[in-house]
Amino acid sequence: MENAGVLRGAPDTGSYLSESSVKSWLTTTDHKRIAILYAFSITLFFFLGGVAATIIRLELFTPNGDIVSADGYNRLFTLHGIVMVWFFLVPSIPTTFGNFLLPLMIGARDVAFPKLNLLSWYLFVIAGLLTVATLLAGGVDTGWTFYTPFSSLYSNSNVLLAAAGVFVAGFSSIATGINFIATIHMLRARGMTWMRLPLFAWAMYATSLVMVLATPVLAMSLLLISVERIFGLPIFDPRAGGDPLLFQHLFWFYSHPAVYIMILPAMGVVSEIIACEARRRVFGYQFMVYAMVAIAVLGFLVWGHHMFVSGQSPYASMVFSFLSFVIAVPSAIKVFNWTGTLYRGQIRFSAPMLYALGFLGLFTIGGLTGLFLAAIPVDVHVTDTYFVVAHFHYIMVGASVSAFFGGLHFWWPKITGRLYSEKFATLAAITMFFGFNFTFFPQFIAGYLGMPRRYYHYAPEYQIWNVMSSSGAVILAAAYLAPLAYLGWSLVRGERASANPRGATGLEWSVPSPPPTENFDRPPVVTVGPYRYHPEHETHQAPDHPAHEPQRSA
Amino acid sequence: MATPPSALHEPWREPERQHDAMVFGLWVFLASEVLFFGGILLTYAVARHADPQGFAAGARASDLFFGTLNTAVLMTSSLTMAVGERALKEGLVRWARWALIATVLLGFAFLVFKGFEYRDDFEKHLVPGLDFRFTGRAEQLFWGFYWTATVIHAIHLSVGIGAVGRLLLLDWRGEMPSHWMGAEATALYWHLVDIIWILLYPLIYLTGRP
């Protein structure tokens, strides 16, 4: 039993879960426990944002307003956006898998600043409470983007409270980013060179750079909105000669890079899953690394593509359009390399792999429709329609959330020490893929036909697409709820997991499941690169894994 | 310098490495701070570009005396901070103690002078929204910038005073030499706060003056 060490009076040999008092959790500086704290918090917010989405989809089932008022609808989609972006997607993978796995993957005992790590969770909780308070006080109606002059002049809702919540959440992000950057620079095990880092660690590095450099600009823009509201300063107020576009520039200078905060970690997760479940080395490892760094850097140079119809200079629009096409190149490199990794792989269609393959397809659709939107003439046509809504949900939900669930299943045995039911998990993964497409693909069509976003009362000719979308959302909701049941069950009755049930490479699989508090008995020494699923020049099959039997004809 | 084990925290095994990581982490934080202030400096640039004359008219109402006095105070505190940090690294604890006490006192002096300046600003109706003296937009924006930037700066300085105060508290408990690692990070932060002031000083007090 994993508690045997504790009983012998040697607490440092127990698993990280062996202490169970509430105080031991709330004061922990163990990166693995902080990951669990974060996991609980973001799960709550995921379902809170999900409830808002459910009401939105119910409302849109018919063209007339039935359930909520027009103002109530504004508050609903704002709540959905704020919660899902800042309280689920941005923290999701970095604060859970990042916190849990990064030190293990690079052979460290903990992150560089464990107390700062705990502080970041408390900041997150404070930010979350401010957001819940906003909700209880009646919500906000500005949209998650806080566009001026909606947010500064015309909104009578709780803008200041909501902005305070997002402001504090930003500092939690910055703290996590600083911690990860310092951890990767200073705590890699002996022999863990930069080009031997698992791609997930690289993804955390690229994400952290964006968190540290973009989030403070968001903090400042929210501060300026607050000052404008409190003191009546005409910073963004066009009537007094202020400049509302200045706000959009500041906001998107953060919020476009934030899109990469949400997708880069997903890319890292999927790289780990695909390599392991296809028993292949990652195709073009170095290009995968450079592509992620390129995405992080270029991500800072494309914010203006959110402003093609804002009246900004057409020359600026052209440059932003060109750069948006450029950033598609590293993203495409990654898609090709994942596909290349599958080539001649011994593919296991396990639940995590199904999520990863789903990611690959949905990310490709989301990315390609992103190219449509980067082209100014098309963008002008579909701006603020459901086409845009469908596009970013393919990236944020189809890709990021699928990767999150993929990672959850992939590392579940490592994190909890239990095996889940592969049958239910496979079913949930397939259901999620279909439910997602059923929900969001019709929105591309509705948007292309001209249905505007953020309308709760729409023209009746769009009803068919909305009925499809709302029906799909029911399936999607079931797929999101199912893991609560079978993963929860696995905690009680699941089979005990061995240290490496998937036969994966990577230092996190070299320690027991669940890992001991101090991670490694002695500091590991790394002598080889990642993903050694087959010899370097061997192109046929993994040596440690027998080839599949040829597929039988039915 | 010998470091007792108490100063070594998880997950570090060597004090040198822990020290490097603290300094490195602080540099990354400073990069974040630069972008934070970058947002408000951009807003300043946009507003000033839109109406240079009105902006200068607003800026002329600023108090050059207090601004210059505070610049001198803060620059001196940078000197004492640097002396204190070096002294600590060299093991000259007495020197370090006095230099850090001087740093804290100079930091407080800055805040006190700033308080006097704020009182004068209130009396001269230089608070936008509260019976403001000017009617022009540029003047409002200048004073909006003034209040926002100087209050954020003062908050940063207060945090800095707290950090130096923590070093002195450790000294009082007799643990100072073992915490020289924290001193360099504290000093870096202190200098950033000073550098931000060096940027704010000409933007606030020298704009609009020939």
Residues A100-155 pLDDT 10s? 999 999 999 999 999 999 999 999 999 999 999 999 999 999 999 999 888 887 88
Look-up: residue for tokens 């945090």? B159
Distance CA A456, CA A57 (A): 10
Q: Choose the mutation target among B16, B18, B28 for the interface with A, i.e. most A CBs under 10 Å.
A: B28
**What confidence tier does A431 reach under pLDDT thresholds 50, 70, 90?**
very high
DSSP β-bridge partners for residue A190: A525
Q: What is the pLDDT of residue B192?
A: 96
**What are the contacts of A42-46 at 24+ separation with CB within 8 A?**
A42/A87, A42/A88, A42/A91, A42/A92, A42/A95, A42/A96, A44/A128, A45/A83, A45/A84, A45/A87, A45/A88, A45/A128, A46/A84, A46/A88, A46/A480
Min CA distance, B148 vs chain A (Å)?
Answer: 8
- Interchain contact, B10 vs A215, CB within 8 Å: no
Does position A544 have pLDDT exceeding 80, yes or no?
Answer: no
Q: Are A135 and A73 in contact (CB under 8 A)?
A: no
Residue A293 in tokens: 């760094």
**What confidence tier does A8 reach under pLDDT thresholds 50, 70, 90?**
very low
Distance CA B129, CA A161 (A): 21
DSSP β-bridge partners for residue A452: A385
- Interchain contact, B39 vs A232, CB within 8 Å: no
Query: Could you tell me the end-to-end alpha-carbon distance of chain B, in angstroms, rounded to an integer?
Result: 52
Q: Are A211 and A260 in contact (CB under 8 A)?
A: no
Nearest Cα residue in chain A from B31: A213
Distance CA A301, CA A256 (A): 9
Q: Which of A334, A300, A293 is nearest to A320 (CA)?
A: A300
Min CA distance, A200 vs chain B (Å)?
Answer: 21
- Bond before A543 cis per omega within 30 degrees: no
Q: What is the pLDDT of residue A208?
A: 97
Distance CA A72, CA A65 (A): 11
Distance CA B87, CA B75 (A): 18
Q: Are A76 and A48 in contact (CB under 8 A)?
A: no
Residues in chain A with CB shorter than 8 Å from the CB of B148 are: 223-224, 227
Does position A22 have pLDDT exceeding 70, yes or no?
Answer: yes
Residues in chain B with CB shorter than 8 Å from the CB of A177 are: 28, 32
Q: What is the ipTM of this complex?
A: 0.92
User: Average of pLDDT values for A324-331?
Assistant: 96
Q: Choose the mutation target among A104, A207, A220 for the interface with B, i.e. most B CBs under 10 Å.
A: A220
Q: What is the pLDDT of residue A545?
A: 53
User: Average of pLDDT values for B65-72?
Assistant: 96
Q: What is the pLDDT of residue A547?
A: 54
Q: What is the pLDDT of residue A12?
A: 46
Q: State what percent of residues in chain A have pLDDT above 90.
A: 86
Q: What is the pLDDT of residue A537?
A: 64
